[in-house]
Structure formats: structure tokens, C-alpha cells
Amino acid sequence: MKLSGCNFHGVIVIVFVMLSISSTSAMTKFNVLNFGANPNGRTDSTDGFLKAWNAACSTADSTFIYVPKGRYLAGSLAFKGQCKSPQIIIRIDGTIVAPPDYGVLGKWENWVSFDRVNGVSIIGQGAFDAKGPSLWACKASRSNSCPLGTTTLRFTNSNNITINGLTSLNSQMFHIAINGCQNVQIQGVKIIAASDSPNTDGIHVQLSTNVEIFNSSIRTGDDCISIGPGTKNLWIEQVTCGPGHGISIGSLAKDLEEDGVQNVTVKKTIFSGTQNGLRIKSWARPSSGFVQGVRFIDSVMRNVQNPIVIDQNYCPHNENCPGQVSGIKIKDIRYENIRGTSSTPIAIKFDCSPHNPCTEISLRNVNLTYLDKDAQSFCCNVVGKVFDLVRPNSCL
């Protein structure tokens, strides 16, 4: 074990229950068509969805809201909690479509949002189509008139949530956001956006505990999964990512007072053509935050620019960089059975804070190559150990 300076080294040698209509026979049912929603894709169905929710929410029994096949035009849908119903299942078999004018949704922070709900499940083979490309084009033109954009699906301050089987298509910004929640299960979702779509994180988790993400496919223009401050007990397994920016803890150190990230497991993941694979990133400024107890296990890299990276000098596009030193403390990070190809010479990069070096970093059974040749590693201010075969030869 040693504290490295900055140097290069070459190579020397959970159970989910599938819910269906048949399992909801004892529930009170609400069909959105009976509340005025129209599946023709042209008639505004916003009020129909809100009325169906209010009816289910105010019922003392467990309830079931059904969205049949079809296309439903809808504006901002804000579903409020503190319901009488102990359980609400929403089955979406149709497609919920955003208005063609991106400005209608773009002025809202969220398109479909749930606040302070408990026991809500969204299931089915339906989709959310946010029609993001026109807003992305506006942003690419650098026009000052573009709205910030909206997150497609957000849960805030909610408990016991399930999202199963849905597709999020062309979100204006984040596809799915979990903020201030407990006991969340996400399984079998498909997330699709262009590789150059800005700020379209696939799934964002922050200030949340006991979140599971399983068996999902994410293709987007930003982080496939981003993990923000205050995340604890997060399990990610069997996720494919690409295109996208990888699975990222951070960015952190946005604020001086910031909750830490702890007990995160990322297992059996595949990254294809992504900017990053397994990443931890923080801005170079003071912060009370930390990252500890992270396990990256059984990942395959296919032509990934930065397969393994800790970047405590994060500053995208090198614009408005704080130019200070990151206060984020990073410790107890394990990489096990990571294999595949890097599209750049440096396959492992640990660029840690000089004031708070990364500690207890371990690499075990890592095999990464570059163009069928030996790759390199880069280490700065990091303490760790290497076990078994590690290729490229680690600078730890």
C-alpha cells in the first residue's frame, strides 16, 4: 500500500412481483377513459388523468388505475399524495405523449410527478414520449429563448414505490428521478434518447434510501444512472448502458453542506460505446460530503472511453471551473471482475483530492485493454491495494 503521486503506469502483464390485471380483482378500478381521457393522441387528456387519480386517491380501498392502449396527449401531471387508498396501481398500456410545442412542458420542472405518495406502483408495457428532440435542437443552437426542460417522471418524498416495464422516450431532461424516497424498486424499464441529447440522465437518485434498479436498458445522452448526495443502500444489477456517460456517483461538491453517498452496489452491468463506465465525480471545491462503501462487481466494457474513473476535478467543457480542492472524502471503493476494452489509452484513472486522498481503493480481477494492446493507468492522491490479476498494471 502506498500514497501515490501523479503518475502513469503501462501494463506489465430482490424479488419483484409482476402485477397484472388479473391480480387486482379485489381492487376498486378506475379507467381513465371514463374520466375524459382520449386515446386519439390529439385531444388533451390532462384533466382525465388528474380526475382518475383524485378518485383513486380519495378511495379507502386499494385502487387500480388503467390506461388502455392508445396515445394520450397530456400536459403537466402533478399527482399529490396523502391518499386514503393504501395502495394505488397504475397500469399503462398506452403511450402518454407530450404536447408538440416543447415550451408547454419546458416551463415545468416535471412532466409526470408524484409527491408524498405511499404504495404507488406504475406497471405495464406503455411509454412516456416527451418529444425532446425539438428542445435539444433549440439548446444546440445556443438560443437564449430555450426553456430549461422538464423531467419526465419524478417521485419526491415518497415511500414503497414500484416502476416496472415502462419505456421513457426522448425526455427533455432527466427521464426518471427519485428524490427523498424510501423503498423504491425499478425493474425492466427501457430508456431511449439520442447520444447527443443534453442532460438526459436515465435514472437519477438522490436523498433516498433502499433503492433497487434491475434488468433495465438505458440509451441516452448523459449518465445512464446518476447517484446524487444523500443516497444510501442502492443496488443496481443487470443494467445495460450505451450510448451515455456511464453510471456515475455525482457530481458531488456542488454545495458546501452536502449529504454523503454510502452502501452502493453496481453488479452485472454492460457498457457499450459510453463516455464512462464506472465513475465517481466531484467538483474541486470544499464540501462536507463523502462516498464510502461502494462495490463495482462484474462489469463488461465495450469500447468505453473511461472504463474506471474517479475524477475530483470534474468540470465539464472546462467552463467556470472552481479551481479549488475537492472536500469530498472517498473511501472503501472496490472494483471486482471488470473486463473489456477501453477506447482511450488510459483505462483506469484515479484523480483524487490532494487534501482528501482516496483511501481503501481496491482492484481485483480487472482486465482492460486498448486496441488489443496494453492500456495504462493514472493515479493521483490515492491509497489502495491490488488483488489477483489487474490489467493494466495499477499505479496503486
Q: Tell me the C-alpha distance between 316 and 309, whole Å.
A: 15
State the maximum Cα–Cα separation within the chain, in Å, rounded to a whole number. 69
Q: 357 and 365 in contact (C-beta within 8 Å)? A: no
Reduce the DSSP state of residue 53 to 3 states and report it: helix
Catalytic residue among 204, 245, 311, 351: 245
Residue with cell 390485471: 21
Candidates 158, 201, 216; CA nearest to 183 is: 158
Q: Using the 8-state DSSP alphabet, how is residue 393 labeled? A: P
Phi, then psi, of 284 in degrees rounded to 5: -85, 75
Q: 46 and 78 in contact (C-beta within 8 Å)? A: no
Q: Residue 245 carries which side chain, given as an amino acid letter?
A: H
Catalytic residue among 175, 201, 204, 222: 222
Determine whether 222 is an active site residue.
Answer: yes
Using CB atoms within 10 A of its CB, is residue 318 exposed (0-12), middle (13-18) or buried (19+)? exposed
SS (H, E, C) 149-163: CCEEEEEECCEEEEE
Q: Mind telling me the catalytic residues? A: 222, 245
